[in-house]
Amino acid sequence: MFRSLTTRVIATTISLLIAGICIYTVFNVRHQHEMLIDTARESTELLLHTVESSIYNTMHLGNVQDVGSILSMVGQHNQLVGVRIFHPQGVILRSSVPNEVGRIANPNDYRIFQSPTNYSIFTLPPYGEVLSMVKPIYNEASCHPCHGSKARVIGVLDVNYSLNRTKMQMLDASRIFVFSSIAITLFLAVTISLLLLRFVKKPLDNMAQTMLKVEKGDFAARIEYTGNDEIGRVIESFNSMVDRLDVAQKELEQLHFQQLERADRLASIGEMAAGIAHEIKNPLAGISAAVTIIKDDMAPDDPRGAILGEVNDQVNRLDKTVNDLLFFGKPSIPELSCVDINSVITTTLKFASQHRSLARIERHIELQPDLPPIYADDKQMQQVFLNIILNAYQAMPSGGVLGIRSSSVVKDAAEYVRVEISDTGSGIPPQILEKIFIPFYTTKAQGTGLGLPICSKLVNLHKGDIRVTSDDTTGTVFTVELPAYRA
C-alpha cells in the first residue's frame, strides 16, 4: 500500500498536519487554562480587597460584631467556599462558617501566609480544587486602642475560591477546541487527499499506463493533459520523447530493410563472386604455368623474358585477389594452439622486411616480456599483423617511424594481450576511417578492399577486438586485443 508515492505523500502530509494541530491544541488548552486561573485569581483578589475595605471601615467605627456579619454575607457567594480571619498563630477569629471560629486554620492556608506568594491552588474536600488567597491585616495607628502597638499583624484575611466552575469552563473550551481541531484536520486531510489524487496520482497513473504501451511497441500512444504545471511539463517532455522514438523507430525500420536488401544483394554477389573466382583460379594456374615454361625456354638475355615476368606477376596478383575473395566468402577454421604473440610479431617482421621502402622507415619495437599466451592460429595472426604493417609502410612512402608495442591489459575482469601498430603517415580522413572495414572499399588503385575486412573477421573469429585511431598530425594506430589463455 505504501509503495505508492501518492499514498506516502498523503500519509506524511496528514501525519504532519495532525502533529501540528495536536501541538497547537496542547499549547492553546494550556494557555486557556492559565488565562482562566488568572481570571479567577483577579476576581478573588478583587473580592479580597473589597472585604478588607469593609472590615477596616467597620473596625474604625467600633462595630466589631459586624465583622462576622460581613464575612457571612460575603461567604454566601456561590463561588466562595469560605471567608475567614485567623490569628497569625493560626487560630480562626472570624469566619463565614460559624463553627470554624476557635479552630486551627487549614494548614494549606497557613502555609500560604508563611510563603512569599499570597495565593495557591490545592484540593479541599469535599469542594475539590480551590484557589486560596490570604492578605495580612496590619496593625495601623487607628487599631492601637484595641490591639495595642506591639503586634505588626493583628490578623490574616483568607478567602477560598472554588475552581469547579472555572474547571467546567476550561473543559467546555477545551472540548470545543478539540472538536474544532478534529473537524479542521479531517477537512484538510480529505481536501489534500482529493487534490493529490486528482492532480498527481491520476496523471502519474496515466503516464505509467502510456509508458507500458510504449514499452510494448505502441509509439502512437500519447498522454492527454491540459495543465501547465510541473506534471504538465513532464508529460509534454514524455510525449515529445515518444514522438522522437516513433521517428527513430521508423528510420531504423527503413534502415533495417535497406540493410536486409543490401545483405541479400551482397550474399548473391558473394555466391556469384565465389563461383567466378573458382572459374578464374584454374585458368590462372594454367596461364602461370605456361608463362613460366615459355620464360624458362628463352635465353637469359632475351628482352621478352622481362615482359613474361611482368605477366607472371600480374597473374600472381590476380591469384591473390581470387584467394582473398574466396577466404572472405568462407574463411578457414582457425587451428588453435597456445601462441606467444611476441614470437608471431617477430616472424611477421621478417616477412615484412622484404618490402622495398623499408630502408626509409625507422622501426620502434617494444615487446613486453612474459606476456601470457593466446589461444589462436599463428598463421592467421601473422596474416593480420602483416596486412597492417604493409599498410603502414604504404602510408609512409617518403619514410617515417613504424611503432609496434605489445602489453597485457585487464578489461571486464578478463586479461587480454594488446598489440598496437602505429605509423607517422599522413593519417586517414574521418570520412574514410569509418569505412575501412567495409568489404571492397578501397582508395588504392590496385587494391581489392578485402585486406582490413579479412583482418577484422580473423580477429573476431578469435573473440578479439580490432580498432583504429588516426589524425593528420600523429598518424594512424591500429589496436588488436586478443583474450589471454590461462590453463
356 and 317 in one domain?
no
460 and 319 in one domain?
no
The pLDDT, as a whole number, for residue 188 is 83
413 and 303 in one domain?
no
Structural domain includes residue 197:
no
Q: What is the CATH number of the domain that holds 94?
A: 3.30.450.20
Tell me which residue range forms the domain holding 30.
Answer: 5-170
Structural domain includes residue 153:
yes
Averaged confidence pLDDT in the chain: 79
Structural domain includes residue 196:
no
294 and 433 in one domain?
no
**Residue 64 pLDDT greater than 70, yes or no:** no
Structural domain includes residue 294:
yes
Structural domain includes residue 199:
no
Task: Read off the pLDDT of residues 97-143 as tens digits, 9 standing for 90 and up.
Answer: 888 888 888 888 888 888 888 888 888 888 788 888 888 887 777 66
The pLDDT, as a whole number, for residue 358 is 67
432 and 349 in one domain?
yes
Task: Read off the pLDDT of residues 135-150 as tens digits, 9 standing for 90 and up.
Answer: 888 777 766 667 677 7
Q: What is the CATH number of the domain that holds 260?
A: 1.10.287
Structural domain includes residue 345:
yes
The pLDDT, as a whole number, for residue 233 is 79
363 and 324 in one domain?
no
Structural domain includes residue 178:
no
Query: How many domains, in total, are found in the chain?
Result: 3
Structural domain includes residue 138:
yes
318 and 347 in one domain?
no
**Residue 22 pLDDT greater than 60, yes or no:** yes
* Confidence category of residue 232, pLDDT binned at 50, 70, 90: confident
The pLDDT, as a whole number, for residue 266 is 62
The 3-state secondary structure of the chain, one letter per residue? CCCCHHHHHHHHHHHHHHHHHHHHHHHHHHHHHHHHHHHHHHHHHHHHHHHHHHHHHHHHCCCCCHHHHHHHHHHCCCCEEEEEEECCCCEEEEECCHHHCCCECCHHHHHHHHCCCCEEEEEECCCEEEEEEEEEEECCHHHHHHHCCCCCEEEEEEEEEECHHHHHHHHHHHHHHHHHHHHHHHHHHHHHHHHHHHHHHHHHHHHHHHHHHHHCCCCCCCCCCCCCCHHHHHHHHHHHHHHHHHHHHHHHHHHHHHHHHHHHHHHHHHHHHHHHHHHHHHHHHHHHHHHHHHHHHCCCCCCHHHHHHHHHHHHHHHHHHHHHHHHHHCCCCCCCEEECHHHHHHHHHHHHCCCCCHHHEEEEEEECCCCCCEEECHHHHHHHHHHHHHHHHHHCCCCEEEEEEEEEEEECCEEEEEEEEEECCCCCCHHHHCCCCCCCCCCCCCCCCCHHHHHHHHHHHCCCEEEEEEECCCEEEEEEEEEECCC
Q: What is the pTM of this model?
A: 0.42
Task: Read off the pLDDT of residues 424-475 as tens digits, 9 standing for 90 and up.
Answer: 888 888 888 777 777 766 766 566 667 788 788 888 888 899 998 888 788 8
358 and 309 in one domain?
no
